[in-house]
Every structure is written in structure tokens, then in C-alpha cells.
Amino acid sequence: MVFARGTSDKAGFGLIGRAFINSLRWKLRGKTISTYAVDYPASWNFPKSTSQGAQDANRHVQQVAGLCPETKIVLGGMSQGSAVIDLITIGNRRIWFFTPAPLPDTMVNHVAAVAVFGNPSRDRPALGPLTEISPQYGHKAIDLCATGDPYCSTGNNPFAHYSYLWNGMVNEAAMYVARKVLNEEA
């Protein structure tokens, strides 16, 4: 599990990331799950921070795939962390002023699933949900946006951006990812 936390979350996975990983562990009991928190500032300097996160996530995915080629990799992110995952999964497509860091085509079969929450590119012109803008990973992705979340929709409820912990979407994403990891159709 490679997860990128949201803006201003302390280093690590953030609340959403931890809840998602815990839910996934429960659904994949008996399986070994290792985790990696994307190493990036998650700061308000979005272009620099997000691009640094994408480079780190890309590097880690390639390292895991090289060392453990049978490992099924799961990618995830919350808010700005979702943008980090966008930058490595949508190919060499530029998003505004962010620097893409696309995973090499050889990584497609190593990534089993992608789960993002509060994805800021979801409601932007010429972009959209990761499920639509990623030709190689879209069919492996679940892109969740809480009703009213202003960071991923035209909503205006800032509290909705933090509702993933209790609105059922963390569990929904974990169910989706568990099916993908177990090679079941989701």
C-alpha cells in the first residue's frame, strides 16, 4: 500500500489513510500488507509539494516492483495526496502547473488497485475523476468524493472534506480494493 496524505496532515498516512489501511487489513486478513507513506511536504505550495510527492511515489512503486515482482501494489491518496497519485497514473499529461511523473508502462501489471478520496482534479475543466482520465489505471481505480466536498465537487461544505472517516467511503474503497487484490471483479 502506497498512500499519500492530504494537505497539512502530519508525516505518515493521515487520518483517512490510516482508516483505509486498517479497513483493508481487516478485509484481507491472512494476507501480508506492507505500507509506505509517500514522503512529501503535503504543504500549501501545491505545485512543488505535489510534484515532489509524485516523484517519491513513482520511485517507491518501481523499487517495490523491481524487488518483489509478484507483489500487488495498491495506490491511494487523500486530497492533495490524490493529486500525487493522479500525477503518476494519468500518463505524461500535464495538469495545470504540476509536473507529471508517470509510471513506466511496465508498472501497469504491478498495480492491482487505486483508491483516492477528495481528488481535486475530479471537478476541474478538461480533467475529471481518475477513473476517466487514466487510460491505464482508470479501470483499477475508485475515485470517491463526499457530497458537498468543495475540493472535489462544486459543493460548499468544507466539513464534507473530512467526512470520509464516517460516511462509509473508506469502507467502500477498502471493499473495492480487496476485490481487485484478490482478482475478483469489482
Cell match 487523500: residue? 78
Q: Is 110 a catalytic residue?
A: no
Catalytic residue among 23, 49, 51, 79: 79
Residues 171, 26 contacting (CB under 8 angstroms): no
Which residues neighbour 122 within 8 Å (Cβ) at sequence distance 6 or greater? 128, 129, 130, 143, 145, 152, 153
The Cα-based distances of 38 to 43, 51, 54, 127, 158 in angstroms read: 13, 12, 8, 23, 25
Catalytic residue among 23, 121, 134, 161: 161
Q: How far is residue 113's CA from residue 58's CA, in Å, rounded to a whole number?
A: 15
Q: Is 161 a catalytic residue?
A: yes
Q: Is 79 a catalytic residue?
A: yes
- Residues with a catalytic annotation lie at 79, 149, 161
